[in-house]
Structure 1
């Protein structure tokens, strides 16, 4: 593997996993008070645009990376926007032991 591929793989790993701690915290605590809905809305739009760009180019690395990031950031945004009762129901479905 060349250096560019290794750097790209590391960037993909960092980008796609960066939302996991926040998503897991939302599931475990059901608390989204400190999360900025505006920031996540812009992030979701950005990932949707990057995903679209990747699809238009047929660039699999862009498609996979931004598809995963879009799904995770959209989940966090939806959890932020849901009423408390629905947020708890989603979290209990995903982590019934909490």
Structure 2
């Protein structure tokens, strides 16, 4: 395997998994008070643009990676802006033991 492919694969793994701990913490604790709404809005916008760029180029590595990152960061942003009852309902649906 070529060095650039290895570096790209490692970057993909890091990027796509970086949001999982935060998303899971939001589900478990139902607490989003320490999360910056502006930062996640910018992040979601950035991933949306990267996804559009990948689609325009037909580059599957860009599409898949940024699609996953967009879904996870958008979930976190949605949980930040949802009213508490809806946030609880979503979290309960995803982790009924929480």
> Structure 2: how far apart are the matches of 1:86 and 1:55?
32
Would you say 1:69 and 2:66 are equivalent positions?
no
Deviations 1:68-90 (A, max 9, x none): 00000000000000001100000
How many aligned residue pairs are there?
A: 98
- The aligned counterpart of 1:27 is 27
- The aligned counterpart of 1:5 is 5
> Structure 1: how far apart are the matches of 2:90 and 2:54?
30
RMSD of aligned alpha carbons: 0.3
- What TM-score do you get using the length of structure 1 for normalisation? 0.99
Structure 1 consecutive aligned stretches of length 4 or more whose deviation exceeds 3 Å: none
Query: Which blocks of at least 5 consecutive residues in structure 1 are unaligned?
Result: none
> Structure 2: how far apart are the matches of 1:58 and 1:86?
37
- The aligned counterpart of 2:49 is 49
CA drift of 1:97 comes to: 1.1
CA drift of 1:49 comes to: 0.1
- What TM-score do you get using the length of structure 2 for normalisation? 0.99
> Structure 1: how far apart are the matches of 2:83 and 2:92?
14
What SS does the aligned partner of 1:6 have? helix
